[in-house]
Amino acid sequence: MAVAQQLPRSAPEAQGIPADAVLAFLESAERETQHLHSLMLLRHGHVVAEGWWAPYAADRPHMLFSLSKSFTATAVGLAIDEGFLSLDDRVLAFFPGEAPARVSPHLEAMRVRHLLSMSTGHTTDTLPALHASPDGNWARAFLACPVERAPGSHFLYNTGATYMLSAILQGLTGVTLLDYLQPRLLGPLSIEGATWERCPRGINTGGFGLTSTTEAVAAFGQLYLQRGMWAGQQLIPAGWVDEATSTQIANGDDPISDWAQGYGYQFWRCRHGAYRGDGAFGQYCVVMPEQDAVLAITGGLGGMQAVLNLVWEHLLPAFGSAPLPANAAARAALAQRLDDLTLPLPQGRPTPFVAAQVSGATYSCEPNGLGIATVAMRFDRSGCKITLGDVRGDAHTFVAGEGCWQQGVISFMAEGEARPVAAAGAWVSDDTYLVRVYYVETPFCVTLTCRFAESRLLLDVAVNVSFGPTTFPAVIGHLMVP
């Protein structure tokens, strides 16, 4: 995965923003939030600050979750411009063989614009019904969902609606959403190696599933800030940019919430005249037209409003109308801070006597919801080699570094898919060893707390963020005698 550095780099002061303001944002973000993974700040088309919290890195892709929706809307805008469809086309017209036996008036009235603006008339998100469809036909499952209200009458965040846009696009063009975007958007922006999940029938999921780099997100935001113009070429019609990022439907009236300022075509309106694409757990592409600025962020955040609050508090008022005098000391301090970004390593005490006793031992686990059958650990000066055996007979082996992140690849708690990880561990008491495992192309961090008591192991497992539980009942292991 890579994205060429087409975006020019500049000192913050040269683009009218003091380095001190960026540093204040960084310090507040680290103090008030957890699990930021990367950021890239652009002003006047120049990258003025960029950083990755180790073990995350610039060349690694990151799951974007619902930030994918903004890319899907872009593809729809391009397809409309090419004459494939229009905003007022009936959704049912694209799926003549998938309609339910009885078509309700509200379903009949649903148009493409309603899918784009999350105003389909549903009162619950349709995505669970799509996942539950026994034949994997997500379009049929969507059309079978009750449409309780008139399309266009109210806002409901509905990821299934975005999937339908992807299905429509593939049906019209004969290629996946990702392949359609490749020559029209990704290639011109020099975005390489992007991937997109597919439904059981091979259609890109649309509303989620895109994985790409922070710089790809930043370039996408800059393209929108420039109203679709890139390197002298109009990649996206300017009119589509304006329409997609304007309020198409009201979504609340809370004056201090960035989730209640209006919704466009798969873009959220923000306070202060800004707009954004965003995804679960802290994936952001924030565009600030009045300030001629873009902020791209990835993370694993439990709450998303806090980071935007810090943007408005620290960065927004710092954008000046003219270049500032050079400030070498402030720039050096910011550069050093960005270079030193790291997620907290487990902190502990010197290796206790019990480490030698349990090193090399294997524990057989009582039945548990995580499917862990055995745990084996071997300690040495560099850290701990851990092997988790599962009930299917697969072994998940990785090394937890001591005072450093050790890279590896495992499929444990990754839905069977091998994913890159970075792990570190420390003894937090005489009988307890704590391990953090970051899945470094995702928002997720798994914490393993291993408590040794005579011939037993008590293993607590927690994850930083999740659509389900974040903690699990303790796994109980018993020492296996050779």
**Whether 446 contacts 470, CB under 8 Å:** no
333 & 401 share domain = no
CA distances 116 to 124, 168, 249, Å, are: 16, 12, 10
**Tokens in use for 231?**
């390197």
Q: Of 311, 339, 367, which residue constitutes the final position of a domain?
A: 339
276 & 317 share domain = yes
pTM, 2 dp: 0.96
Residue type, 60: R
Cβ neighbours of residue 160 under 8 Å, at least 6 residues apart?
Answer: 122, 125, 126, 127, 129, 130, 138, 142, 145, 207
In a domain, 155, yes or no: no
**Counting Cβ atoms within 10 Å, is residue 345 exposed (0-12), middle (13-18) or buried (19+)?**
middle
In a domain, 55, yes or no: yes
pLDDT tens, 278-308?
Answer: 999 999 999 999 999 999 999 999 999 999 9
Helix runs in 245-327, H state only: 305-310
What average pLDDT does the segment 344-349 reach? Answer: 94
What average pLDDT does the segment 302-325 reach? Answer: 97
Asked if the model's pLDDT at residue 3 lies above 60, the reply is no
Q: What is the CATH number of the domain that holds 376?
A: 2.40.128.20
What average pLDDT does the segment 80-91 reach? Answer: 98
217 & 334 share domain = yes
CA distances 113 to 87, 118, 158, 338, 440, Å, are: 5, 9, 13, 42, 36
In a domain, 143, yes or no: no
- Residue 304 — left, alpha, or beta (φ > 0 → left; ψ -120 to 50 → alpha)? alpha
Of the listed ranges 174-188, 206-220, 247-261, 345-359, the one predicted with least confidence = 345-359
Helix runs in 59-155, H state only: 68-81, 105-109, 112-116, 127-132, 138-144
395 & 288 share domain = no
In a domain, 156, yes or no: no
DSSP labels, 26-39: HHHHHHH---EEEE
What is the rounded CA–CA span in Å between residue 320 and residue 317?
Answer: 8
471 & 366 share domain = yes
Residue 307 carries which DSSP code? H
What average pLDDT does the segment 241-270 reach? Answer: 98
Q: What is the CATH number of the domain that holds 303?
A: 3.40.710.10
In a domain, 463, yes or no: yes
pLDDT tens, 102-126?
Answer: 999 999 999 999 999 999 999 999 9
330 & 220 share domain = yes
Cβ neighbours of residue 31 under 8 Å, at least 6 residues apart?
Answer: none
In a domain, 186, yes or no: no
Please state the domain count of the chain. 2
pLDDT of residue 458: 98
382 & 459 share domain = yes
Q: Of 316, 339, 362, which residue constitutes the final position of a domain?
A: 339
CA distances 374 to 377, 386, 414, 459, 476, Å, are: 10, 11, 18, 11, 10
pLDDT of residue 56: 98
SS3 382: coil
453 & 417 share domain = yes
Range of the domain at 11: 2-60+213-339
Q: What is the band of 67 on the pLDDT scale with cuts at 50, 70, 90? A: very high
Residue type, 87: L
Cβ neighbours of residue 384 under 8 Å, at least 6 residues apart?
Answer: 377, 378, 399, 400, 402, 425, 433, 435
In a domain, 127, yes or no: no
219 & 335 share domain = yes
pLDDT of residue 5: 57
**Whether 151 contacts 111, CB under 8 Å:** yes
Q: How many CB atoms lie within 10 A of CB 329?
A: 10
SS3 354: helix
Nearest Cα residue to 160 out of 78, 72, 79, 77:
72
263 & 366 share domain = no
321 & 361 share domain = no
334 & 366 share domain = no
